Amino acid sequence: MGFETSDDAAVYRLTKGLAVVETVDFFPPVVDDPFVFGQIAAANALSDIWAMGARPLFALNLVAFPKALPLGVLSKILAGGQSKADEAGIPVLGGHSIHDDEPKYGMAVTGCVHPDRVLTNAGARAGDVLLLTKPLGSGIATTALKRNLASTDLVRRAVAVMAGLNRAAGEVFASRRLEVHALTDVTGFGLLGHLLEMATAANLRARLVLEKVPVLAGVPELAEQEVVPGGTRANLASVVRRVRFPRGLPLSVKWVLADAQTNGGLLAAVPAGRADRAVTLLERAGVEVARVGEFVRGRAGIDVV
């Protein structure tokens, strides 16, 4: 599995019963605290493994760091990443670093999965229910932080979302106790972008119920003030021709739905008859989950209702 459906990771079959899963992600700081930045970047990189129904095995660090900053800052970044690797139960086995004017950090993560148990973003079926495991808004929240417009409470909640591992949700979706037709995580392309990838791959229409979509408190108000990152604006522009919005829906609401996320939640398509079971298993695992829509037959795209 490679680029065919813009899936979350590459999958390479080694034997009849074993495939290796590989992903990589790194980016500049989204928060001021170097330890927390390390946690967020590592959690984000790990997420793609769980989004494929796989389990992580080990990680390698990727570092770009300015000569002008003290090495103590880098130590804190790496310690943050190590803390999330420890939480995921995997070792960090090395990595690579370069000098750069802007610090950047992330990980290349290797995982494994049985070839018959891979969960892709391409298997949704008509009638499937859409489940989302984290609220939207981290992109807008971090933009507000950079502009000194974010409340302490919003920063705290956004950090909790971004640094929280998707391990529990991923393990539930990958378990044999549950039937899952498609799975992805909501990251840089926003909910609309990643949902459109799922709809396109399955040649179905997604029906997204606006009032069911969880959003961080305070984010809608910031969007109304146009506190929106460039990536979010670009996301909306890239999908707008294939998304049908309610007449008169404010632009700020569209921005929230397209908001570029850092380590957002997992987005799953499950059979309607198994949705209650899925919600129960996720909640037992301590995962907050929302039913945000369904897939129906029709031209590939999204209807926001």
CATH no., domain 129-304:
3.90.650.10
**Domain locations in the chain?**
10-116, 129-304
The strand pairing partners of 266, in sequence order, are 185
Which superfamily does 10-116 belong to?
PurM-like, N-terminal domain (3.30.1330.10)
205-237 residue pLDDT tens? 999 999 999 999 999 999 999 999 999 999 999
Sign of the alpha-carbon dihedral angle for 119, 120, 122, 128: positive
251-264 residue pLDDT tens? 999 999 999 999 99
- What's residue 155's pLDDT? 96
Q: How far apart are CA 217 and CA 141, in angstroms?
A: 10
The contacts of residue 230 (CB under 8 Å, 6+ apart) are none
Q: How far apart are CA 102 and CA 29, in angstroms?
A: 9
Is pLDDT of 7 > 80? Answer: no
Cβ–Cβ < 8 Å for 278, 174 = no
Cβ–Cβ < 8 Å for 80, 36 = yes
Same fold, 10-116 and 129-304: no
Considering only CA atoms, which of 116, 111, 8 is closest in space to residue 59? 111
279-298 residue pLDDT tens? 999 999 999 999 999 999 99
